[in-house]
Structure 1
Amino acid sequence: MTATPAEVQLWLLDARIPQPELDLDVLDAAERERAGRFFRAADRVLYTVAHAGLRAVLSARTGLPAAELRFEREPCPCCGELHGRPRLAAPGDAPAFSLSHGGGLVLIGLAPDATPVGVDVEALPSAATARETMTSLHPDEQAELAASLAGPTPASFARVWTRKESYLKALGTGLGRDPASDYLGDDPSRHPDAWTITDLPVGPAHVAAFAFARPRATFTLHGTLPA
């Protein structure tokens, strides 16, 4: 019998517009201190919406009050230090989650269980940034980008980059792992075994992806937070 595919829940929020349903008072002292360090007001709002939104999602899943959630880091697979994947410091079987914010958008990913998940959302980079950064990609990814009829465009580069970022976040390494180590180009059959790595529809000015450490996973993309 074929197993039912696991479903990843995703939330996409636009921090450039008011989010009246969010309670920003749930942030803890460390989150407030970090938000206060941003020079640009838009960056402070983006960070605040992202972390309050994550707390709302996790509160709805766990039944714990959003303001009482506490977070910790898993050991990094590269060095063993405690700066790997974030996780809930809570008793019981807490779900895995991932958070990304960029270009005014927030993306939250929630696994059905403790299986690693990673998300990434980015505004389209400039053509110069795409050309410069693509040299850090897997050699076959670079070749694919260079061989396309339009050449390495910001959108084609960013699709590869968000797949890679989401995968590295799910691994818990981030960019501590060489971005050239893994192929996440346009041939899904060559992606890491037993993973689901999927592009997400987030509009013409942004790109996004999620990675989940199971094959055949599905997803639901929500535009509003759980009640």
Structure 2
Amino acid sequence: MDDRPEPWSVLGATAPRQDIRPAGGAVALWRLDTRQDVIGGHRVGGALLDAAERSRAAALVRPGDRHRYLAAHVGLRVLLGGYLGIPPKRVSFVREDCPRCGGPHGRPALGGDPPAGLHFSLTHSGAVAAVAVATAPVGLDIEAHPRPEVAGGLLRFLHPRESAALLALPTAARPAALARVWVRKEACLKATGAGIGYGLTHPFVGAGPVPAPVPGWTVSDLRAPLGYCAALAAPTPQGLRTRSADDGEEAAA
């Protein structure tokens, strides 16, 4: 049984109850069910989205994938609009410069002038989407446990020490352990803006029950819905204090 504190606020069909913006080292964490037809008081569809979002949604062939994408982005806009005090449709996004090549395809960020002073990270997998909001760069990832036949093929993309640790586990235990490693890496790469285009060998995050140290970053495993793993990364000086709007209290991830 997972006895870690529940870090999430849940975004349902009605408008969310949002406290003041996260400040200092606080990270607001939200999750939602992407199978819903109404998110935060808004029907799932393209009405709130910009042209780029609508184009990406239209490119998804399977209706279920398209609906999940739309639900995740409607939820993101509802949450960010609430923190910014503007309608969800007015939330604008830009791309930061890539930290590797300098091109305009780095980490997604809030647009607007003056800058909003908030950072966010959106992730979705299966029927779950999740959003992290903070005043410093943050990376969040959530993934469903891969099927056993898929898990074996992914080991070669990891750091050799991580792959060796996973191979030492019983075959039935590998999918959940692999998902744990994967979300740690993705969280770090989202936080830095590097993305997975340059591979998943680095950073080394470890395959054990506690993430390995990553220079400059604090990586935390998060309690996740059954069948999923989740992790959060933020700058080490900031630390990680997650705050649930459901109880109004801060809890260590």
Is TM-score (shorter-chain normalized) higher than 0.5?
Answer: yes
Structure number with higher relative contact order (C-alpha < 8 Å, ≥ 6 residues apart): 1
Aligned to 1:156: 177
Q: Is residue 130 from structure 1 mapped to residue 148 from structure 2 by the alignment?
A: no
**What secondary structure does 1:143 align onto?**
helix
CA distance in 2, matches of 1:222, 1:127: 36
Report which stretch shifted further, 148-157 or 31-40.
Answer: 148-157
Distance 1:144 1:214 in 2: 26
2:198 is aligned to 177
Q: Paired residue for 1:9?
A: 28
TM superposition outliers: structure 1 runs of 4+ over 4 Å? 149-152
* TM-score normalised by L of structure 2: 0.79
Match of 1:31 among 49, 53, 63: 53
- Name the SS for the 1:175 alignment partner: coil
After TM superposition, give the deviation of residue 206 of structure 1 in Å.
1.6
Q: 1:89 maps to what in 2?
A: 111
Structure 1 match to 2:98: 76
Number of corresponding residues: 218
Q: 1: CA distance between counterparts of 2:39 and 2:172?
A: 42
- Per the TM alignment, residue 10 of structure 1 is displaced from its structure 2 partner at its CA by 0.9
Change (3 A) 1:75 1:27: same
Q: Which whole-Å CA distance do the structure 1 matches of 2:78 and 2:188 have between them?
A: 24
Q: Is the 8 A contact 2:167 2:174 kept in 1?
A: no
| Structure 2 partner of 1:19 | 38
In the alignment, the residues of structure 2 paired with residue 7 and residue 142 of structure 1 have an alpha-carbon distance, to the nearest angstrom, of: 33
Quote the Cα distance in structure 1 between the aligned partners of 2:66 and 2:51: 15
> Take 2:110 and 2:119, find their aligned partners in 1: how far apart are those partners?
8
Deviates more, 1:144-153 or 1:169-178: 144-153
Letter in structure 1 aligned against 2:125 = G
* Unaligned runs of at least 5 residues, structure 1: none
1:199/1:138 Cα in 2 relative to 1: closer, same or farther (>3 Å)?
Answer: same
Q: C-alpha displacement at 1:145, in angstroms?
A: 1.2
Among residues 94, 98, 104, which one is paired with 2:121 in the alignment?
Answer: 98
Identify the residue that residue 141 of structure 1 maps to in structure 2. 162
Work out whether residues 5 and 218 of structure 1, in 8 Å CA contact, stay in contact via their aligned partners in 2.
Answer: no
* Equivalent AA in structure 1 for residue 117 of structure 2: A
Judge conservation of contact 1:130–1:157 (CA < 8 Å) in 2. Answer: yes
| Cα distance in 2 for residues equivalent to 1:189 and 1:118 | 15
SS at match of 2:196: helix
Cα root mean square deviation, aligned: 2.2
Q: Compared with structure 1, are the counterparts of its residues 164 and 158 closer, same or farther at alpha carbon in structure 2 (3 Å cutoff)?
A: same
SS state at 2:132 partner:
strand
Aligned to 1:98, the other structure's residue is in SS state: strand
Amino acid at match of 2:123: S
Shift of 1:65: 2.0
Aligned residue for 2:225, secondary structure, equals coil
